[in-house]
Chain A
Amino acid sequence: DAKTTQPPSMDCAEGRAANLPCNHSTISGNEYVYWYRQIHSQGPQYIIHGLKNNETNEMASLIITEDRKSSTLILPHATLRDTAVYYCIVRVTNSGYALNFGKGTSLLVTP
């Protein structure tokens, strides 16, 4: 699986969009970009994933650059409950293997 690089921490004001970047310059053609988050003391929660097209669901949007070397997770209207550690993971889907969690980005949403 390709290695990812994320900033260790970010702040965002409540109600604003939170844009979390991820670099994955060694990504290969069959690797997907996944985002999970972990709210304090809870199990990780799936957010979204994509291959090369931008994706949107009820939780977030995922923007992947054309060369696929980086991506951005967007939480359009951050709330205090979005305060969590966000993990960007790159891997081949459906391989049945475990996720390789790094240290992620700690997002703090402030009132």
Chain B
Amino acid sequence: NAGVTQTPKFQVLKTGQSMTLQCAQDMNHNSMYWYRQDPGMGLRLIYYSASEGTTDKGEVPNGYNVSRLNKREFSLRLESAAPSQTSVYFCASTTGGLQGGETQYFGPGTRLLVL
């Protein structure tokens, strides 16, 4: 049981390049989330997926797109990277249902540097 995994762990991009951050969870969770964390700041929500087949914008969605590929996987795409997108990106998942607590499980993060 790996929990939440993210790839890559670290990436350097040039301005204007595109890339996709991958996230997968093996806990059969319904809801998945993408956050970004800038230095000295708390996490801010980019996009989330309450259940398979649905996605919604969070606090800072501009410049990003997401795909909920299946129940396990939720990817984040930067179509044209900008230096302002230099950040650490965290993926998380939770049951999201009516039973149990709302514990969110986080991945180890992807550190992205845009030059």
Contact = CB atoms under 8 A, between A and B. Distances in A.
B61 interface: no
Contacts of B99: 94
A96 B42 contact: no
Contacts, number: 62
A104 B42 contact: yes
A44 interface: yes
| A interface: dominant SS | loop
| B interface: dominant SS | loop
- The CB with the most chain B CB atoms within 10 A, among A44, A49, A87, A101, is that of A44
B103 interface: yes
Interface of A: 32, 34, 36, 41-46, 49, 87, 91, 93-99, 101-104
Interface of B: 4, 30-31, 33, 35, 40-45, 48, 50-51, 58, 88, 90, 92, 94, 96-109
16 contacts: A32-B102, A43-B4, A43-B90, A43-B108, A49-B101, A94-B100, A96-B31, A96-B51, A96-B94, A97-B50, A98-B35, A98-B58, A99-B43, A99-B104, A101-B35, A102-B42
